Amino acid sequence: MHTIEPFYSWRNLYIASEDSRSPFYGYQNSEVYFTDRIYNYTIHPQWDNIGSETLFLKVLYVDYKDGYAIIELFGEWNDLLNNDIMTLKRDVIELMIAEGINKFILICENVFNFHADLDSDDYYAEWQDELEEGWIAVLNLRDQVLTEMSKYNIDQYLVMGGKLDDVAWRTKHPKLLFKQIDELVIRRLGF
């Protein structure tokens, strides 16, 4: 797990820790010290800690003019034990929405498991309600994560599956990736 790094090829275009409007403004990652863990596994120090024991992320790109953010997630998304959706929503997403972001691309190929809170999907519903004409698209989910999210109806809030599970995003400029995902989402949602 310590060898899996967040995508870094767009750093010449955007760095969240240098963006004064970002929830991660001023955040410093170590270049040499591996301090964060998921269970018994040390993870790469470039992942940003959001206060969850099992879910980390990296904001890869934000475009305030067009109102979108591309976020790469890593680890285990555990709403049952850690209420990760609440942590993500309150500590990251709400701050971005306040800055005009209403379209979110979540890259989830490094989310290895998902555990739903069987009693509540309130934070997903709240997030979707706050976006007005926006959306949340999830790319490249692992089969077991897609199955689990669908089983608990999380897919009613997030656009996922189908063509979104096989997007070669690393080879694209973030603006081209957004254009591709926006077209897929608009077609799917029938805007």
pLDDT (0 to 100) of residue 189:
81
Which CATH number is 16-189's, of 3.20.20.120, 3.30.750.24, 3.30.360.10, 3.90.180.10? 3.30.750.24
Residue range 163-184, pLDDT digits in tens: 999 999 999 999 999 999 999 9
Domain extents for the chain? 16-189
The answer to whether the CB of 78 falls within 8 A of the CB of 54 is yes
Residue range 67-108, pLDDT digits in tens: 999 999 999 999 999 999 999 999 999 999 999 999 999 999
Burial class (CB in 10 A: 0-12, 13-18, 19+), 152: middle
Instruction: Give percent above pLDDT 90 in the chain.
Output: 87
pTM here is 0.96
pLDDT (0 to 100) of residue 2:
83
The mean pLDDT value for 19-34 works out to: 93
